[in-house]
A and B are shown apart, each in its own frame.
Chain A
Amino acid sequence: MSLLELRDLSVHYRGARGEVAAVRSVSLGLEAGQTLGLAGESGCGKSTVAMSVLRLLPRNARVEGQVLLDGEDVQGMSWGRLRTVRWAAASVVFQGAMHALNPVHRVGDQIAEPMRLHGVSGSVSDLLGQVELPARAARAYPHELSGGQKQRVMIAMALACAPRLVIADEPTTALDVVVQAQVLDVLKRLVSERGIGLVMISHDLSVLASTCDRLAVMRYGQIVEEGPAREVIASPTHPHTQALAAAFPTVGDPASRQVTAEDAADGPVLLRAEGVRVDYGATKAVAGVDLEVRAGEIVALVGQSGSGKTTLARTLLGLQRPTAGRVLFEGTELPRSSSGLRAYRRQVQLVLQDPTSALNPRHSVYEAVAEGLRIHRIEGDEPTLVAEALSHAELRPPELFFPSLPHELSGGQRQRVVIAGALALGPRLLIADEPVASLDASVRGEILALLLRLRRELGLAALVITHDLGLAWTIADRVAVMYQGELVEQGTVEQVLLSPRHDYTRTLLAAVPQDQRSTRPNWTSSP
């Protein structure tokens, strides 16, 4: 008997506009000691599948088919029986540990809560030990822990009642590569040591490839491809699987590198940081950085969260004054007056990570793009300029998008609006902070291609800040690696990513989930 079996599961949500099918006849099985991966983009129904296992769906959901947990149908359980099964037989590591933990309870109490509830003996510090956290972490509140630590607390909490099935919903999204690798290791070890069954849900095929035995790819509520993880990744048959796989390029794979030799930028230096240092009190956020971006060049600034990347970007934009050192744009130091800085920011524009929060939800696309034009009092016909910027960002025909509000657009379209807003001012350089991190896999590629095209057509240079080495490999000319406020290594993409010299760069590369397509050389033995 399987640990978990879904038989012909369908879920519909009743809404104002009738019923919407979220999951359509999904059948899956999982044995103890195995890991099943569920891949797909946002809205494909993978989280709905996860929630239906413990009957956690909202009230407007209508479920058909069977969910068998150890042979018992979850749909038919009484409330009392369901409460006994919840967490004791199967538990969930929720997406976004930031919000899945109660902010005003100590994490130790939150871990202990299901143990008291189900009358399970055990110690919180043992559980914390299993996820490699010190016992004193139990006394912390969620906001006092880092993202990776919170995710470990979630895992410890999921293990509290020694369940046989754990469902992990995007357990590593929003974590940077190094922490992601650590969390994945913890999960893998628990599966092999305790013989639990694990369902891993992710939009990132490389994460699933490195952890799962079997893999199912979902789209529009249906499973489009299923099989042993190795086979699905190595030779995907369905076009959607292929698209997902391509969206997470492997470092070192020539097929995923989109920069060609003729793109080589040898223009004059546009932006130069000289010995830039930023101290926040006693903390050195940026500790003496020299960096150059040439005209028409794409530079990737990589590093873990907390490495000082964002502070450096703020300094380059003139939003933060350096404690020491200077920033030069075309050979002249950044002005200090606010009017001078405003003129400077026409040349250098910022694109943020999350387009949803970067756009005012009550401003139309037209307003969002025209705002910059008005602030900088740019001459010319406003509608024409806005239309031009939108079509540069590949929102065509632009007039069609003028009255749209952000919530009517897809994530990719929203990011294009943000980029159009930057392009309207005719900047020479874009500083993009994780420009695709919040976007779906299939959209990432499009936005990256857009950045490359803008460089080719408008000669637009870009400084792309990211923790994603695959992204750097896809579009960058040069890479600068930042670690604890310093640039530990910089050079061309091939130099840095294929033959890294600094230990930290090697650590970063080793932390990238490995799958079977990799043609990457083995760095540990490199000279």
Chain B
Amino acid sequence: MIRHLAGKVGGALVSLLFVVALGFLLFRVIPGDPVVAMTRGRPVTGDQLAELRVRLGVDKPLGEQFVDYLSGMVRGDLGTSHVYSRPVLELIGERLWPTVLLVGTSTVLAVVLGLWLGIRGAWRRGSRSDRISTGLALAQWAMPTFWLGMLLSLATGDLFPSGGMRYPDTPPDFLSQALDVAHHMVLPCLTLIAVVYAQYLLVMRSSLLEEMHADYLTTARAKGLRDDLVRRRHAVPNALLPTVTLVFLHLGLVVSGAITVETVFSWPGLGLLTYEALTGPDLPLLQGTFVVLAGAVITMNVFADLLYRVLDPRVRAS
């Protein structure tokens, strides 16, 4: 078990290293000179540009820049944002919690909704309610997120705020602050749920359909179990297994998954930060968000793997 764990964590660290290297190189090849972008619209001389290059460290050869970047990262320093002139780590730390709150909440709700509808659909396969719910979910999945978001805020009118995370004039006590944030979260949350729950529904539905022909369900029925017990005790736990991997992969994406939604609703999270960094391009900030997002996916993958071993005795044995 310990050996398995060590192997998994080791593998994850190797992937993370790859991601760091890839992220570094990737953002050097995208078009756009950061120094030019920073000084756009201002009169600057060639000397000033050169000096700025030296200060940002982008004048050194690529290899040297990479070594500097790596050694900084080991010390917990992801560099300094060109645009904000603040440490990248600090910026990310500030923006992480709004994202986790928004995307975490909507993922949990989408998982619950998707699994429930998936189970219902599979159990009454081909019925009217199954066809309607599957069709609806697919249609929503296919919609562009930003468009759905704008549509929702148009449709609801003034009922919910369509941007930001809180009003500036909200009283500072915890309850009013929490209510205010919740109020702001309704639209982005609904948009996110509508777009992603279809995946959980489809995976749960097909994996339950596969289990429904399993012989051990006939055994359970022959034992005299009620239909809902057959489903709850025997069919669903087995069908949930493939879904676990999917859910955890998505939990990894929680951090990044909301770039469009956060941009549309100007939610001050990591997604919006990434979007802002991209328009720069603010290289240190981009690299920083890239590493954090990829790190989250990799970590959640390891968790999914370990959880799977706990849930499925067959995996434990091999």
13 additional A-B pairs beyond A100-B216, A114-B224, beta carbons within 8 Å, are: A51-B218, A83-B224, A83-B226, A87-B222, A87-B223, A94-B222, A95-B215, A100-B218, A102-B238, A114-B223, A117-B224, A141-B313, A143-B317
Among B216, B219, B220, B312, max chain A CB count under 10 A is at B219
Q: Which residues of B contact A92 (CB under 8 A)?
A: 219, 222
Q: Which residues of B contact A157 (CB under 8 A)?
A: 219
CA distance A157 to B222 in the complex (A): 11
Q: Tell me if A54 and B238 are in contact (CB < 8 A).
A: no
Q: Tell me if B226 and A144 are in contact (CB < 8 A).
A: no
Least Cβ–Cβ distance between A377 and chain B, in angstroms: 39
Q: Tell me if B219 and A101 are in contact (CB < 8 A).
A: yes
The residues in B between 267 and 318 inclusive whose CB is less than 8 angstroms from any CB of A are 311-314, 317
Q: Which residues of B contact A87 (CB under 8 A)?
A: 222-224
Least Cβ–Cβ distance between B116 and chain A, in angstroms: 21
CA distance A100 to B222 in the complex (A): 11
Q: Tell me if B222 and A103 are in contact (CB < 8 A).
A: no
Q: Which residues of B contact A117 (CB under 8 A)?
A: 223-225
Q: With A84-B224, A117-B223, A143-B313 in contact, is A104–B238 under 8 Å at CB?
A: yes
Q: Which residues of B contact A51 (CB under 8 A)?
A: 218
Q: Tell me if A143 and B222 are in contact (CB < 8 A).
A: no
Least Cβ–Cβ distance between A340 and chain B, in angstroms: 33
Q: Which residues of B contact A83 (CB under 8 A)?
A: 224-226
Can you list 10 A-B contacts with CB-CB less than 8 angstroms, sorted by A residue number?
A51-B218, A83-B224, A83-B225, A87-B224, A100-B219, A101-B219, A103-B216, A104-B312, A114-B224, A117-B223
The residues in A between 84 and 101 inclusive whose CB is less than 8 angstroms from any CB of B are 84-88, 91-92, 94-96, 99-101
Asked if A113 is at the interface (CB within 8 A of a chain B CB), the reply is yes
Asked if A118 is at the interface (CB within 8 A of a chain B CB), the reply is yes
Residue from B215, B220, B226, B314 in contact with A96 in the complex, judged by beta carbons closer than 8 Å: B215
Asked if B60 is at the interface (CB within 8 A of a chain A CB), the reply is no
Q: Tell me if B221 and A103 are in contact (CB < 8 A).
A: no
Q: Tell me if A101 and B216 are in contact (CB < 8 A).
A: yes
CA distance A104 to B211 in the complex (A): 13
Asked if A20 is at the interface (CB within 8 A of a chain B CB), the reply is no
Least Cβ–Cβ distance between A77 and chain B, in angstroms: 12
Q: Tell me if A104 and B313 are in contact (CB < 8 A).
A: yes
Q: Tell me if B218 and A144 are in contact (CB < 8 A).
A: no
Asked if A56 is at the interface (CB within 8 A of a chain B CB), the reply is yes
CA distance A99 to B219 in the complex (A): 10
Least Cβ–Cβ distance between A419 and chain B, in angstroms: 31
CA distance A141 to B317 in the complex (A): 10
Least Cβ–Cβ distance between A48 and chain B, in angstroms: 13
Q: Which residue of B lies closest to A92 (CB)?
A: B222
Contact with A along B223-253 (1 / 0, CB 8 A): 1111000000010011001000000000000
The residues in B between 54 and 102 inclusive whose CB is less than 8 angstroms from any CB of A are none
Among A54, A56, A84, A100, max chain B CB count under 10 A is at A100
The residues in A between 102 and 118 inclusive whose CB is less than 8 angstroms from any CB of B are 102-105, 113-114, 117-118
Q: Tell me if B317 and A144 are in contact (CB < 8 A).
A: yes
Asked if B214 is at the interface (CB within 8 A of a chain A CB), the reply is yes
Q: Which residue of A lies closest to B234 (CB)?
A: A102
Least Cβ–Cβ distance between B140 and chain A, in angstroms: 31
Q: Which residues of A contact B311 (CB under 8 A)?
A: 104
Q: Tell me if A102 and B220 are in contact (CB < 8 A).
A: yes
Q: Which residue of A lies closest to B218 (CB)?
A: A56
Q: Tell me if B222 and A104 are in contact (CB < 8 A).
A: no
Least Cβ–Cβ distance between A31 and chain B, in angstroms: 23
CA distance A114 to B230 in the complex (A): 12
Q: With A104-B238, A104-B311, A141-B313 in contact, is A99–B224 under 8 Å at CB?
A: no
Least Cβ–Cβ distance between B126 and chain A, in angstroms: 11
Q: Which residues of A contact B312 (CB under 8 A)?
A: 104
Q: With A100-B215, A104-B238 in contact, is A91–B222 under 8 Å at CB?
A: yes
Among B220, B223, B241, max chain A CB count under 10 A is at B223
Least Cβ–Cβ distance between B211 and chain A, in angstroms: 10
Least Cβ–Cβ distance between A236 and chain B, in angstroms: 32
Q: Tell me if A88 and B224 are in contact (CB < 8 A).
A: yes
Q: With A86-B222, A86-B223, A118-B224 in contact, is A99–B216 under 8 Å at CB?
A: yes
Q: Which residues of A contact B224 (CB under 8 A)?
A: 82-88, 114, 117-118
The residues in B between 198 and 222 inclusive whose CB is less than 8 angstroms from any CB of A are 214-216, 218-222
Least Cβ–Cβ distance between A141 and chain B, in angstroms: 4
The residues in A between 239 and 277 inclusive whose CB is less than 8 angstroms from any CB of B are none
Q: Which residues of A contact B237 (CB under 8 A)?
A: 104
Residue from A86, A94, A103 in contact with B238 in the complex, judged by beta carbons closer than 8 Å: A103
Contact with B along A127-149 (1 / 0, CB 8 A): 00000000000000101100000
Q: Which residue of B lies closest to A167 (CB)?
A: B222
CA distance A183 to B224 in the complex (A): 25
CA distance A337 to B177 in the complex (A): 73
Q: Tell me if A94 and B218 are in contact (CB < 8 A).
A: yes
Q: Tell me if A56 and B223 are in contact (CB < 8 A).
A: no
CA distance A207 to B311 in the complex (A): 39
Contact with B along A350-367 (1 / 0, CB 8 A): 000000000000000000
Q: Which residues of B contact A99 (CB under 8 A)?
A: 214-216
Least Cβ–Cβ distance between A242 and chain B, in angstroms: 33
CA distance A102 to B312 in the complex (A): 11
Q: Tell me if A56 and B238 are in contact (CB < 8 A).
A: no
Q: Which residues of B contact A84 (CB under 8 A)?
A: 224
Q: Which residue of A lies closest to B219 (CB)?
A: A100
Contact with B along A46-71 (1 / 0, CB 8 A): 00000100101000000000000000
Q: Which residue of B lies closest to A83 (CB)?
A: B224
